[in-house]
Amino acid sequence: MSLFIDTLRGKRGPRPPVWLMRQAGRYLPEYRALREKSSMLEMVMTPELACEVTLQPLRRFPLDAAIIFADILTPLIGMGSRLEFKKGEGPVIENPVRSAADVAKLRLPAPAENVQYTLDAIRLVVGELGEKTPLIGFSGAPFTLSCYLIEGQSPGDLERTKAMMVADPAAWHALQEKLVTLCVEYLVAQAEAGCRSLQVFDSWLGHLGPREYERFVEPYLVKVFHEVRKRADVPVVFFATGVTGLFPQLARLDAHAFGVDWRVSLPQALRLLGREVPLQGNLDPQILAGPWEYVERAAREVLAEGASVPAHVFNLGHGVLPHTPPENVQRLVDLVHRRSA
């Protein structure tokens, strides 16, 4: 039994469960120490290291879930992308996808071949965590993965992505079909390896308006949820930022719960979604990095709002920032744990 899993399935417990997006990462000195010796990709691709980094925040804080240390971009390597994480620049893909011919060249190896290192890391983490703390697996959504593949770097204003969408729809749709398969197979494989929940990250979706979302993205995202729910019996969360204007459309996804960023209140998000569904969020990560007195006030406000929606998983509205004091994370987790509904 797990408070986190029950809450995602719509069952309210004595308090909201809490985990934080990017809870493993540069704000932790023990992460930076390992990172000095290995690159980001080496850490992801070495199951023992990925397992260690996944567990680091759990050793410090009594979090209610762990998330496997990987990246939404690592499965693209097996498709043929030459991916690097460059210091100060973020991800760079040396051979971006710019044409139908580039799309045709993308391979679709099975997860056991493509991301065996992550599946092995999941088995190690699950062995360490046992029954008590569930592990979350994740994937980038087809749209956000397309943004990185096409732009070849942090997507910016999505100039080339939107150009392909409208100027070469055949290439766009062929790319989406491949990425739906990648995403579904990757998520199902993570559940089979022991993940008890899955999260789909569509971090760049907020750059689209509702009409282009409906035409170029929605059919594929619907398919991802439909297929994953058919094949894996674990709750699946959808997360994107800046998508308040797309909530009426996103509500049609067969997701167990929705992650909400800090730009909208939880009750307002629920009204826009228009259906009774558990929500996850939504403290502003920038606030968490500031003075504790204000963090406390803001966190209590999130808790109060969370009490008015069908079920609430406490989280940030986006990932933990590198300049966040670990002390604030400690106090935040304690604050949520002291809360009983």
Q: Does 85 bind ligand 1CP (CB under 6 A)?
A: yes
Q: Which one, 75 or 319, has the nearer CB to ligand 1CP?
A: 319
Task: Assess contact for 80 and 107: CB atoms under 8 A.
Answer: yes
Task: Assess contact for 213 and 248: CB atoms under 8 A.
Answer: no
Q: Which one, 90 or 219, has the nearer CB to ligand 1CP?
A: 90
Task: Assess contact for 165 and 98: CB atoms under 8 A.
Answer: no
Q: Does 156 bind ligand 1CP (CB under 6 A)?
A: no
Residue 37 CB, shortest distance to ligand 1CP, in Å, is: 12
Residue 340 CB, shortest distance to ligand 1CP, in Å, is: 27
Rounded-to-integer distance, Cα 339 and Cα 15, Å: 6
- Contact range with ligand 1CP by CB under 6 A, out of 7-15, 17-25, 110-118, 217-225: 17-25
Catalytic residue among 9, 12, 22, 331: 22
- Contact range with ligand 1CP by CB under 6 A, out of 71-79, 103-111, 209-217, 245-253: 71-79
Q: Where are the beta strands (DSSP E) in the chain?
A: 66-67, 83-86, 90-93, 135-140, 197-201, 236-239, 257-259, 279-283, 312-316
User: What tokens appear for 187 in the block?
Assistant: 């998520």
| Residue 220 annotated as catalytic | no
| Residue 22 annotated as catalytic | yes
User: What tokens appear for 247 in the block?
Assistant: 């909530």
List Cα–Cα distances, 168 to 22, 99, 163, 261, in angstroms.
35, 8, 8, 32
Rounded-to-integer distance, Cα 135 and Cα 118, Å: 13
Q: Does 263 bind ligand 1CP (CB under 6 A)?
A: no
Residues 115-144 that bind ligand 1CP (CB under 6 A): 138
| Residue 202 annotated as catalytic | no
Catalytic residue among 35, 60, 160, 229: 35
| Residue 263 annotated as catalytic | no
Neighbours of 105 (CB within 10 A): 12
Q: Count residues near ligand 1CP (CB under 6 A).
A: 21
Footprint on this chain of ligand 1CP (rule: CB under 6 A): 21-26, 35, 40, 67, 69, 71-73, 85, 90-91, 138, 154, 201, 203, 319
